[in-house]
Amino acid sequence: MKSSLYTIFLFLCFAATHLSADRPNVVVIMVDDLGYSDIGCYGGEIETPHLDKLAANGLRFSQFYNTAKCHSSRVSLLTGQYCIAAGDTALSHAVTSAEVLKEAGYFTAMSGKWHLKKEPTDFGFDRYFGHLSGACNFFKGDKTFRLNGEKWQVPEKGFYTTVAKIDYALKFMKEAREASKPFYLYVAFNAPHAPLHALPEDYKKYKGRYDMGWDKMRDARIAKLKKEGVIPKELNVSPRPPHVRAWDKLVPWQRDYEINRMQTLAAMIDRVDQEIGRLVEDLRKNGELDNTMILFVSDNGACPYDRKGPLLNVEPTNGQIAFGDSTGWAWARNAPFRFYKQNQFEGGISTPGILHWPKGLKTKPGAVVDTPAHLIDVLPTLADFGGAKIPTKHASRELRPVSGVSLRPVLEAKELVRKEPIYLQFSSDYGLRDGKWKLVSYKGQEWELYNLEEDRAENVNLAAKHPKRVKAMVAKWRQMSRDVLHSEKLANAEMKPAAEVKSNGQWTKFSDSEKPPVKRAGPRKRKKKKL
């Protein structure tokens, strides 16, 4: 009897060891406000050799969707649910990927931007370094920095958030190795989200590179995207919208200012790639790269909200000066698509999606996958390959069903079948992706309909031509609003008449003035009140 029990014990130990060895380590990397064509393997001129190599040895999604906004994308990434269904930033109706994989024996760690309620260590992460806020000064940080649940003081010198996040990511991976556990690492960069800050050495690299302006930059990116097969060669790209001025119509001081802004953005993205390179090299040195699933995504498209006045003849390289976002460059960075962050058009929700896993991928290296995927699919995919079970009950949360699906068929070069369309919403921007058809509304205005198989850039609104399809898709969107998101408000949303020209008060306003407005480069000194 003792002998048989011992045999069973040895078998279980062997099985557990074998399972642990077969399961991949997982690294999920999310960047902030990245445009569709910002990195090299998606058409960009910015130097991103490490991401390009991951794509060349892995796969690229041509249609990887987010929610068009920072916090809601993070909710969907972590929970497999649409933001409102999950309980919004409180995550009151969901479990996270960290909780799921931790239960399956993974060492779980996060480094970077949280932007949700409570802290990562309250939702299954064994280790955490980063800021709880949605944005902060890249050189000075803010008061929300935490290390494993404790307040962390940002150093006065030698600090840059993009670098620090990888410093701690490497420390956490070392801890996982010492614990002899597979690890799940979630890295959430704040770059290239405003404030626009760049390290001096990165900033200098791009001096003069954007003198050509956004029209020519966009054209070059589109040509490269077509050449690499990320978008169809026959695609009719979206034209420059009325609210973006032609580059050659800008006055000299505007061109100088805009060149400086894009130079800074490029430097920030370049630095992200460099730090990803450090992480990948660490995996390689430790013999883990082949069996580590690396997923690279963005939370939304490029941001057009220009919330700062122009700063001239300055370099945002020391934390004292910061630039705001540019609508013109955001349009070019989202090439070949329309609109931006917060909008449910492709420019807002379709961003790079790279998956690298030499041991697990059965697709051809460098493959471009046209199957639509969404951030809600991340948790089911990680649970599937991590040998984990997504719970239906929790001690303190009333859980709702996961809406995402495992991307296993895509990784195995098979067809992915969804039972439900992909639901799209942030604030009053709405949409639904059902096969080749996409329903979309700008700011609660009349529904538009596009055939993305023929018109990925959403140039030709087919709503008037296919009223029955619009009616059916609207009904489905409202049903999902009620039954999946549990939102009667959305289900009963009233649509406004379509505006002839779509506009936003926070988009860059262009003037014809030959002289720039006066703007201080540093913080304003407050006058002392007389007693």
Question: Cα separation of 507 and 519, whole Å?
Answer: 19
CA end-to-end distance (rounded Å), the chain: 91
pLDDT of the residue at 207: 97
Beta strands in 384-464 (DSSP E): 422-426, 429-434, 437-441, 448-451
Instruction: Report the largest interatomic distance among the alpha carbons of the chain, rounded to a whole angstrom.
Output: 93
pLDDT of the residue at 517: 77
CB 63 within 8 A of CB 374: no
CB 343 within 8 A of CB 274: no
pLDDT at 341 over 50: yes
pLDDT of the residue at 513: 84
pLDDT of the residue at 519: 56
Q: Provide the Cα torsion 333, 339, 345, 347; round to 10°.
A: 0
Higher pLDDT, 355 or 309: 355
Run of H or E residues at 70? helix 70-79
Predicted TM-score (pTM) of this structure = 0.94
Thinking of the domain 25-417, which architecture would CATH place it in? Answer: 3-Layer(aba) Sandwich (3.40)
pLDDT of the residue at 469: 98
Long-range contacts, stretch 361-367, CB < 8 angstroms, 24+ apart: 361/58, 361/59, 361/411, 362/411, 362/412, 362/413, 363/59, 363/410, 363/411, 363/412, 363/413, 364/413, 365/56, 365/57, 365/58, 366/55, 366/56, 366/57, 366/58, 366/59, 366/60, 367/59, 367/60, 367/413
Q: Where on the phi/psi map is residue 335: left (φ > 0), alpha (ψ -120 to 50), or beta?
A: beta
Q: How confident is the model at residue 434 (pLDDT cuts 50, 70, 90)?
A: very high
Looking at every residue in the chain, the average pLDDT score rounds to 94
Question: Cα separation of 447 and 441, whole Å?
Answer: 5
Q: How confident is the model at residue 522 (pLDDT cuts 50, 70, 90)?
A: very low
Q: Bridge partners of 110? A: 128, 186
Question: Cα separation of 479 and 344, whole Å?
Answer: 19
Q: Bridge partners of 351? A: 64
User: Where exactly are the structural domains of the chain?
Assistant: 25-417
The three-class DSSP label of residue 160 is coil
Q: How confident is the model at residue 7 (pLDDT cuts 50, 70, 90)?
A: very low
Q: CB atoms < 10 A from the CB of 4, how many?
A: 8
Run of H or E residues at 368? strand 367-369
The mean pLDDT value for 442-467 works out to: 98
Q: CB atoms < 10 A from the CB of 469, how many?
A: 16
Q: CB atoms < 10 A from the CB of 137, how many?
A: 15
pLDDT of the residue at 197: 98
